[in-house]
Structure 1
Amino acid sequence: MTTRWLTDEEQRAWRAYIAATHLLEDAIDRQLQQDAGMPHLYYSILANLSEAPDRSLRMTDLAAKSKITRSRLTYAVTRLEKDGLVSRRDCDWDKRSSFASLTDEGMAVLERTAPGHVQTVRSLLFDQLTPEQVGQLEEIFTGVVRALESDEERPTPEDVPWRRRSSGSGPCPGTS
């Protein structure tokens, strides 16, 4: 098989993407650490829960929405639970499953932190783009996500943990 090396233009674009994503993630983490004492990942977990019905999701579904492994999610939820921002309960119908729920205290932290987070994202990313570029950005990354997610669903010869798809991703039967 012949390697298709990146062109000079592709190499510049790739390096610009890497630099921008690292710098943006660092800036967002700094803002969230300062305002809420938590990293971006924890804030994202709270945000995902806040958007769910009854502010609750199965841990498997929350891991998929957060784009992280179940073990990494378990670690994060344990920390958030210790801080009183999330609670966890077992599923009555499936003993292998549990739910994470956003507590009132977690919602209050999210509401207090969201304005600064949005301002950071807006000033560092969206204020740098024209409305046309915002549409292009969405189109580009929607395509990238689609390709990555379809790649994850294809069986692979190697059993790579970060490529495993979780099984049983629907709500637990008999729960609301």
Structure 2
Amino acid sequence: MDDVRWLSVDEQDIWRAYLSASVTLAAHLDRQMRQDAGMPMAYYEILVRLSEAPHRRLRMSELADASLSSRSRLSHAVAALERNGWVERRPADGDRRGWVCALTATGYEALAAAAPGHVTTVREHLFDVLTPEQLASLREIGRAITAGLQPACEAARAEEPDDAAGPCDA
């Protein structure tokens, strides 16, 4: 315990402000998405990632990485999205073990209907409350934190079974 670099009072304040802002904003976005679009934020993120992919489809492993999800969590989410008719899974071409998830036309319509409310909420509770300088700093901070965690996240994903929720999963 003697070698622990304890947080100063100022560092504790920074940590708690960051944690409060990130958790509160994430919960608010999820609540808005559930109320307005009938889906959790995690499903919206999957649909967004598929909409941005070539031919609106990704291998399941790529989709898990892109949506910051464990493979197990993604599989459950994709099953629910399939029941809604928003995505479909099919075997990957030329790979008997791989699977591809594709956004359907109905899924794209659901995404298009959900996007305006989501963007409005993000704008109101993030972009409109920060100055341009703060936004630039936030981008740098986010990139620095992500880059600093990248080696640990890659190691954790390599060590854990596919169905485990790792420390880098959102």
TM-score for the superposition, normalised by structure 2: 0.90
Please give the alpha-carbon distance, in whole angstroms, between the structure 1 residues aligned to 2:11 and 2:148: 18
1:140 aligned residue = 141
Matches within 5 A, 1:71-110: 71-110=72-111
Runs of 5+ in structure 1 lacking a partner?
A: 165-176
Q: Percent identity?
A: 47
2:57 aligned residue = 56
Aligned-pair distance for 1:159? 5.2
Please give the alpha-carbon distance, in whole angstroms, between the structure 1 residues aligned to 2:50 and 2:93: 20
Query: 1:93-133 deviations in whole A, cap 9, x for unaligned?
Result: 22221000110011011111101100000101111100011
Query: 1:8-50 deviations in whole A, cap 9, x for unaligned?
Result: 1111111111111121111111111112111000000000000
1:11 aligned residue = 12
- The 8 Å contact of residues 86 and 103 in structure 2, kept in 1 or not, is answered as yes
2:117 aligned residue = 116
Aligned-pair distance for 1:154? 4.3
What is the root-mean-square deviation of aligned Cα atoms in Å?
1.9
2:29 aligned residue = 28
Runs of 5+ in structure 2 lacking a partner?
A: none
Please give the alpha-carbon distance, in whole angstroms, between the structure 2 residues aligned to 1:25 and 1:153: 24
Aligned-pair distance for 1:163? 5.3
Structure 1: which 4+ aligned runs deviate by more than 6 Å? none
3-state DSSP of counterpart to 2:101: strand
3-state DSSP of counterpart to 1:89: strand
- The reply to whether residue 68 of structure 1 matches residue 56 of structure 2 is no
3-state DSSP of counterpart to 2:93: coil
Paired residues, what number? 163
3-state DSSP of counterpart to 2:89: strand
3-state DSSP of counterpart to 1:88: strand
2:131 is matched by which residue type in structure 1?
T
Against the structure 1 CA distance between its residues 4 and 119, is the aligned structure 2 distance closer, same or farther, given a 3 Å change threshold?
same
Please give the alpha-carbon distance, in whole angstroms, between the structure 2 residues aligned to 1:58 and 1:83: 20
1:86 is matched by which residue type in structure 2?
V
